[in-house]
Amino acid sequence: MSRVAIFMGSISDEEKVRPCADILDELGIDYTFTVSSAHRTPERTAKLVEEEEASGCQVFICAAGMAAHLAGAVAAKTIRPVLGIPVSASALGGMDALLATVQMPPGFPVGTVALDKAGARNAAWMAAQILALTDEDLAAKLRDKRDAFKASVERAAEELAKR
């Protein structure tokens, strides 16, 4: 069974990260969704990574704002793929979180997506694509979703042409 873990640095990030869980639900992917902080609860974060790996987690998704070290802290504890969602949570409009998430030392990569809800959605899609490498049923779902996206663009173009 495909499995993902979603960690947020703060409960205040939930609204921006919830679309990630919604897409995983839609695709039928099992996941954990919790709060853990790289700074305030580093021991909890390390323990969660260990527990998630033991339960079969294949991809980690980490969302954090400001210093945004959660994805890096998780990447330091696993060799499984880690995807980072930078969250806009400061006066810097998310630029701080983006740079903190994307600037990882060699050997400890974090695949970084866009800020906030758009990033949350793409983190789910990216996790699904990673899982689909070994799950043909999921790969078929992804192909169907892509076809539906294409069809919606075609419909929109037809509707616009009728105006």
Q: How far apart are CA 48 and CA 46, in angstroms?
A: 5
∠ CA 28-33-34 to the nearest 5 degrees? 170
Give Rg (Cα) of the chain: 17
Distance CA 132, CA 74 (A): 22
pLDDT (0 to 100) of residue 2: 80
Per-residue pLDDT of the chain (163 residues; tens, 9 = 90+): 689 999 999 999 999 999 999 999 999 999 999 999 999 999 999 999 999 999 999 999 999 999 899 999 999 999 999 999 999 999 999 999 999 999 999 999 999 999 999 999 999 999 999 999 999 999 999 999 999 999 999 999 999 999 9
Rounded CA-CA distance 98/77 in Å is: 21
Alpha-carbon distance 105 to 72, whole Å? 9
Give the residue ranges of DSSP H helices in the chain.
14-27, 42-54, 70-75, 95-102, 116-132, 136-162
Strand 111-112 to strand 59-65: parallel, antiparallel, or no bridges (unpaired)? unpaired
Domains and CATH numbers, the chain: 3-135 (3.40.50.1970)
List the one residue out of 4, 5, 3, 7 whose CA is nearest residue 101: 7
Output the pLDDT for position 64: 97
Q: Which of 52, 58, 39 is nearest to 1 (CA)?
A: 58
Dihedral (CA of 12, 100, 44, 32) sign = positive
Q: In 3-state terms, what secondary structure has residue 82?
A: strand
Burial (0-12, 13-18, 19+ Cβ within 10 Å), 151: exposed
CB atoms within 10 A of CB 161: 7
- Report d(CA 145, CA 148) in Å as an integer: 5
Model pTM above 0.85: yes
